[in-house]
Amino acid sequence: MYWQKRFDKENPDKELEEKILEIRREHKDFGYRRIYGEIRKSGIVINKKKVQRLIQKLKLQVKSFTRKSRKYSSYKGTVGVVAKNRIKRRFKTSVIHQKITTDTTEFKYYEIDKGKMIIKKLYLDPFFGYV
């Protein structure tokens, strides 16, 4: 019987829900933190957890800015000039030193000079000759 009596009870958070819907109409990409800030600016004192709970109840959660929606990528496209692939995976040769390849690797290391830490770079550039 307890839950049946609750159907007749008026929603105590009706004004707050209307305020949230009004803010959401103006700002489509506001999450609960920004909506909470707007409510506090208007002079209503409320807990941020209650704002979050009401937004979940109204199904207004922003889904486009979640961490899982964006994947980190450090790829910046083709940088510099790419040399032509002349070997085309044919590493065997009958002439000595006809095909020589190289690869450059950068190492960073730290030096302490007069109490200051300085970042320095060291390059390793080995040559490979195929026989």
DSSP string, the chain: -HHHHHTTSPPTTHHHHHHHHHHHHH-TT--HHHHHHHHHHTT----HHHHHHHHHHTT----TT-GGGS---------SPPPP--STT----SSTTSSEEE--EEEEEEEEETTEEEEEEEEE--EEE--
What pLDDT, in 10s, does the model give residues 83-119? 888 888 888 888 888 888 888 899 999 888 888 888 8
Low-confidence ranges of the chain (pLDDT < 70): 64-70, 130-131
Q: Where are the domains of the chain?
A: 11-66, 86-131
pTM comes to 0.48
- What integer pLDDT is reported at residue 14 of this predicted model? 93
- What integer pLDDT is reported at residue 59 of this predicted model? 92
